[in-house]
Amino acid sequence: MKVKKNNTPQMKVIRNKIDIIDSKLLPLMVKRSKLVEKALELKVKRSEIVDKTRIREITKKISKKTKILGGNPKLLSNIWIAIIDNFIKFEKSKFKK
């Protein structure tokens, strides 16, 4: 069964807008990843990699700000958790002490 692509002019405009946002997000994610690497250098014990209190604070703040901005708090909190989880995996793989 062939899937029909939606290449309408409207869809192209929306995708272009998404691409513009992505091009703004990527440099911020690179900056974030460099800060995570610097934070990792300061961690003495592997147990310091996961800070559940900080993760709760971040997700609570994201949820609150998302509501104010008129977004979907559950969706954005889940995206943030996925970002955090991936950075935790990265830190665990790089931890050398």
> Given this model, what pLDDT does residue 21 score?
98
Q: Is residue 3 part of a domain?
A: no
> Domain total for the chain?
1
> Given this model, what pLDDT does residue 1 score?
61
Q: Is residue 90 part of a domain?
A: yes
pTM: 0.82
CA 94 to each of CA 28, 41, 81: distance values in angstroms, whole numbers, following the listed order = 21, 10, 20
What CATH number corresponds to the domain at position 65?
Answer: 1.20.59.10
Q: Contact 19/26 with Cβ under 8 angstroms?
A: no
Q: Mean pLDDT of residues grouped by 10 in the chain (97 residues)?
A: 78 96 98 95 90 95 97 95 96 86
83: domain range?
9-94
Q: Is residue 2 part of a domain?
A: no
Q: Is residue 79 part of a domain?
A: yes
